[in-house]
């Protein structure tokens, strides 16, 4: 009887030791896994330029708007994010201080014609004049030549590239922000479509676009995207 009890005690102790060993091994593994998942879920470190991240570009057309563009610039600055603004000459001339701020804060500025004119068969010269006039307005403020143009409605004539030394920048993801004031809907659309090196089209001319754009930045940064100017996507 005594022998039997001793035997069972030994088995019990061995069992306890195996249990403890398993607990330590898997417990440590689990803690490690949770740490990795936590990082992936949003406990991201602050964005750093040196991070190996997936590039994507936000572009904003039609501005600058006297109120919404400043709001957007505040949000981008808080997040350390750079974007590209295709401004009209008309709006740039009205708000040179905002153009200056864009440049100071590291954003890229492109041409979106003077009065948001669409290139058609019969207005080639007028369109070209609008591009030149807008370049002059921007250069007057920033001191820099303007190389990129987002032609309104995407209509372009390739011969302008050699005539004006300007290059068109179209887009790969259309947020359709101009036709929906529902920011959540716009965010969902962009986040679902976003892939590496995409160029996202938005407008800094609506309050809902500003809300949506900043949410897009937050969501995609959690997913490991890094926001850059279109130049960094086109020539990298
Ligand atoms: Zn436009």
Q: Over the stretch 4-26, which tens digit does the pLDDT of each residue have?
A: 555 554 445 445 554 444 444 44
pLDDT at 168 exceeding the cut of 60: yes
Count CB atoms within 10 A of the CB of residue 204. 29
At 236 the pLDDT is 73
Determine the length of the chain.
236
CA of 69 to the centre of ligand 1 (A): 15
Q: Which helix (H) or strand (E) holds 209?
A: helix 207-222
pTM: 0.78
CA of 212 to the centre of ligand 1 (A): 18
CA of 225 to the centre of ligand 1 (A): 26
Measure the CA–CA gap between 110 and 86, rounded to whole angstroms.
Answer: 4
pLDDT tens-place string over residues 194-236: 999 999 999 999 999 999 999 999 999 999 999 999 999 998 7
Q: Copy the structure tokens of residue 223.
A: 């997913």
pLDDT at 133 exceeding the cut of 80: yes
- Domains of the chain, by residue range, sit at 54-235
At 30 the pLDDT is 42
CA of 202 to the centre of ligand 1 (A): 9
Q: Mind telling me the catalytic residues?
A: 61, 203
Measure the CA–CA gap between 29 and 34, rounded to whole angstroms.
Answer: 9
At 22 the pLDDT is 44
At 19 the pLDDT is 47
CA of 78 to the centre of ligand 1 (A): 26
pLDDT at 114 exceeding the cut of 80: yes
The least confident of 8-17, 25-34, 69-78, 143-152 is 25-34
At 61 the pLDDT is 98
Closest CA to 157 of 115, 118, 116: 118
| Mean pLDDT for the chain overall | 86
CA of 128 to the centre of ligand 1 (A): 16
What does the pLDDT average to over 98-120? 98
pLDDT band at 73 (very low <50, low <70, confident <90, very high): very high
CA of 151 to the centre of ligand 1 (A): 8
Structure letter (DSSP) for residue 126: H
At 235 the pLDDT is 83
- In CATH, the number for domain 54-235 is 3.20.20.370
CA of 205 to the centre of ligand 1 (A): 10
What does the pLDDT average to over 148-157? 97
Structure letter (DSSP) for residue 224: T
- 228 CB burial (10 A radius; 0-12, 13-18, 19+): buried
């Amino acid at each position: 009887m005594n022998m039997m009890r001793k035997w069972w005690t030994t088995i019990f102790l061995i069992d306890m030791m195996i249990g403890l060993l398993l607990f330590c091994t898997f417990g440590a593994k689990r803690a490690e896994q949770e740490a990795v998942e936590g990082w992936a879920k949003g406990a991201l470190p602050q964005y750093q330029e040196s991070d190996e991240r997936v590039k994507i570009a936000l572009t904003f057309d039609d501005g600058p708007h006297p109120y919404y563009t400043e709001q957007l610039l505040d949000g981008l600055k808080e997040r350390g994010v750079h974007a590209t603004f295709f401004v009209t000459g008309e709006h740039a001339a009205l708000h040179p201080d905002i153009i200056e701020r864009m440049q100071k804060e590291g954003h890229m500025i492109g041409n979106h014609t003077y009065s948001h004119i669409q290139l058609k068969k019969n207005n080639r010269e007028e369109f070209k004049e609008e591009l030149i006039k807008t370049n002059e307005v921007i250069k007057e403020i920033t001191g820099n030549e303007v190389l990129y143009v987002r032609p309104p409605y995407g209509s372009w004539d390739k011969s302008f590239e050699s005539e004006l030394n300007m290059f068109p920048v179209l887009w790969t993801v259309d947020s359709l922000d101009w036709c929906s004031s529902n920011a959540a809907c716009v965010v969902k659309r962009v986040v679902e479509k976003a892939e590496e090196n995409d160029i996202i089209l938005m407008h800094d001319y609506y309050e809902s676009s500003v809300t949506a754009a900043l949410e897009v930045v937050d969501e995609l940064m959690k997913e490991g995207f890094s926001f850059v100017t279109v130049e960094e996507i086109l020539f990298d």
